[in-house]
Structure 1
Amino acid sequence: MQPGDLRVALFSGNYNYVRDGPTQALNLLVGHLLERGAAVRVYSPTTDTPAFPPTGDLVDVPALPMIGGRGEYKVARGLPPAVRRDLAAFAPNLVHLSAPDILGHRAITWARRRGIARVASLHTRFETYPRYYGLGFVEPLIVRLLTRFYNRVDQVMTPGRSMADLIRGWGVTTPTSIWSRGVDHARFNPDRRSTEWRRGLGIGDGEVAIGFLGRVVLEKGLDIFADVSRLLTARGVRHRVLVIGEGPAQAWLAERVPDAAFAGFQRGDDLGRAVASMDVFFNPSVTETFGNVTLEAMAAGVPVVAARATGAVDLIEDGVNGFLVPPRDVAAYADAIQQLVEHGTRRTAAGAAGHAKAQDYRWEPVNEAVVQTYLSVMARRAGTS
């Protein structure tokens, strides 16, 4: 089988109505598949006001707003008859599941009953979300559901070895392979740094900007971020928090870090400028499977302080291009950031090391690995390898 023989039905809980790391990765993948001659059809909830145009053919799946104050995301209600008819007409020979939601579960069942190959990719650690909303007691149940989901496919693609090890620990026995992530090196590089842009946000030339990058939501570790900033202030460590992004917890964070500079949502080359204008990137999130934002900061020559968790441990060499810290150790985070704030040469060296490592992450070979995984799964099911 060749790439042009593939007919891929991709299922996503969010393909283009909210811009985030997973949606950008999925759209880039679809673009690569189309370039390789594969036929692709995407099934996802949609909105009248998408964040960006979709790559490829997108079929709307009816959905309801997510509860819990996260109505910007949608939850599909399953596979209604109209979607099933569209699937039958498209006649996929491989189904790719990108989220373990209701839509993903129904799609797996649909494919299993028809003997169609099934591949799943991991993008978010959903099992960690409840702990940020006072519902940590349901985490074991979610892990069991996730384990069942990933054991019903032919292959699981994880963004790094740390996630593969994690799901193995849960009891997932399905073969795994790596679908890493790339970065746009023309956009994210040290030359994008702008002192003038920083000044426009009120960040002094002598202040070290501690950056947050991403959706401003509680599950990104905002409580730890705020506590660390307050501790640095109490220690007399001169710094400014620079928040790049928007989200429902923005007012919450602004109340706890009142002197933070909020740059808002940035896109394109403006985003590259914003990231390069940080001095330290602080990522206390434990919900990442890879950490696209961490890689973007590295490519921009910014040293990283991150939680010792999945994603970050695949990217950060502790003490070389940044620091890895126990996830909720506020004092240890403050110690690491203080070292980088107070020692400019160490900060510069760590940023340069991260920039060098990021050069290995490029989208074309990363997405070609997915094509080869698809072909391997098809060959295995056909008994030819």
Structure 2
Amino acid sequence: MIEPQEPHRPSAHPVQHPVQQRKGSGASARKRILIVSSTLHTGGAERIVACLARHLDRERFDVTVCYLKESGVVGEEIERRGTPLVPVPGLVPGAVDRFTWWKLRRLIRAGAFELIHTHDVHGLMDGVACKLLVRGVKHVHTFHWGNYPERETRYRKIERLVWRVPDRLIAVGHRQADAIRQLYSIPPARLKVIWNGVDTLSPQIAPEVLAITSKTSDPVLASISTMIEQKGLHDLLQAAHLLKNDGASFQLLVIGDGHLRPKLEELAKELGIQDRVHFLGWITQASERALPACDIFVQSSLWEAMSVVVLEAMARGKPIVATRVGDNEHMIEDGVSGRLVSKSDPRALADALGELLRDSAQRERLGAAAKARHGALFTTRHMIEAHEALYESLLA
């Protein structure tokens, strides 16, 4: 999982237009796709953008990624992997720009893009404008927000107003899709579910993780998330407190950062668990540099759509304890390929973790089943093939 970083500031040098970059390359024989995201410096949605950029079939699709506000660590990865990455023309970093839709229209026309794929509300608005202004361009939009029908009023108004314009809408989870359809009265055929997919790279454990795991024989729990209310980290710390009182031996790695970090660190001190809990901040590419070192992965979220980091834990063959939110119950078969507990219930979370801490055989069994389930349903290839089929159907 790519963890959030400080926003990357685009170079002051002009960006060569992707059409100019590939003249004479034979790109015109392929379908030209523009993937659009507001930012590329945080979280699961941006990680999916990077995955699409890397894995879409280059013999059929000529892919460019455009950001409307800021690039960052995910953008750097996209460039490093060889996919053209461009800011919306005329972008001024940090400035409020109400005309990105017009500038995106210019980019689409100049680049002769046939399909645009947007991934957030800003992109949705601009993409809808471009769909109406550029003859023949197709528009796909993916909803990544995981707590429908709870949605900020302004975003809800925008989505309700414009959802009819894109050619196809995508949800990343079934529960999310049901909630969106009900909230906006969207016909089932207009909204397609495509599950997220991930694969793993060779582990390269970060020094700050090794500094802890190399000095303990206790089982290691790990949580990877932004430190915001959604992630339920107060519940996780309360569960750690209960585990310690129950006499369990463990170390908990809390990986990530966010505005709640000072409060969470203070809560750990108040609960007397600072000797068990380690706040490690952001670890870039945590799925390769932190996740492999843990014995149990834990997610305490209050809501999700389809969690990328849970998929990454499954791909690593880690036993998982997660809350029963979003599509977690589609991903994890409770008692077979992981454990699911009610959200906002530290006691249930502690009991499930305690059971796994006491039973290494169960940890091994659940982890192996999680890895097998990931391979059967949630690989990158599954996700990519579904997107490729959708693009082909719209561009036929």
TM-score by length of 2: 0.77
Q: Answer whether contact 1:201 1:263 (CA < 8 A) is retained.
A: no
Matches within 5 A, 1:365-376: 365-376=382-393
How far has the Cα of 1:77 moved from its partner? 3.6
The equivalent position to 2:218 in structure 1, one of 207, 211, 214, is 207
Q: Answer whether contact 2:147 2:304 (CA < 8 A) is retained.
A: no
Amino acid at match of 1:59: P
How far has the Cα of 1:98 moved from its partner? 0.9
Asked if residue 262 in structure 1 is aligned to residue 279 in structure 2, the reply is: yes
- Report the equivalent of 1:108: 128
- Report the equivalent of 1:298: 314
- Report the equivalent of 1:9: 34
Q: Answer whether contact 2:295 2:318 (CA < 8 A) is retained.
A: yes
The equivalent position to 1:28 in structure 2, one of 40, 44, 51, is 51
For 2:245 and 2:145, the matched residues in 1 are separated by 34
Aligned residues: 354
Q: Answer whether contact 1:298 1:355 (CA < 8 A) is retained.
A: yes
- Report the equivalent of 2:3: none
The equivalent position to 1:240 in structure 2, one of 251, 259, 271, is 251
1:95 is paired with a residue whose SS is strand
1:359 is paired with a residue whose SS is helix
- Report the equivalent of 1:96: 117
The equivalent position to 1:57 in structure 2, one of 74, 85, 92, is 85
Q: 1:200 to 1:106 in 2, by over 3 A?
A: closer
How far has the Cα of 1:339 moved from its partner? 1.4
Asked if residue 177 in structure 1 is aligned to residue 229 in structure 2, the reply is: no
2:56 is paired with a residue whose SS is helix
How far has the Cα of 1:363 moved from its partner? 1.8
For 2:92 and 2:228, the matched residues in 1 are separated by 22
Asked if residue 45 in structure 1 is aligned to residue 68 in structure 2, the reply is: yes
Q: Answer whether contact 1:281 1:305 (CA < 8 A) is retained.
A: yes
Asked if residue 348 in structure 1 is aligned to residue 376 in structure 2, the reply is: no
- Report the equivalent of 1:383: none
Identical positions, percent:
25
Asked if residue 163 in structure 1 is aligned to residue 176 in structure 2, the reply is: yes
For 2:255 and 2:351, the matched residues in 1 are separated by 23
| Structure 2 residues without counterparts, runs of 5 or longer | 1-27, 269-273
The equivalent position to 1:150 in structure 2, one of 163, 174, 190, is 163
TM-score by length of 1: 0.79
For 2:117 and 2:306, the matched residues in 1 are separated by 19
For 1:354 and 1:299, the matched residues in 2 are separated by 7
For 2:147 and 2:29, the matched residues in 1 are separated by 34
| Structure 1 residues without counterparts, runs of 5 or longer | 66-73, 129-135, 380-385
What's the RMSD between the two structures over aligned residues?
3.3
- Cα offsets for 1:87-144 (capped at 9, x unmatched): 221233222111123x42132122034453221112232658xxxxxxx7x6566445
Q: 1:327 to 1:63 in 2, by over 3 A?
A: farther
1:305 is paired with a residue whose SS is strand
The equivalent position to 2:301 in structure 1, one of 272, 285, 289, is 285
For 2:176 and 2:347, the matched residues in 1 are separated by 27
Q: 1:198 to 1:375 in 2, by over 3 A?
A: closer
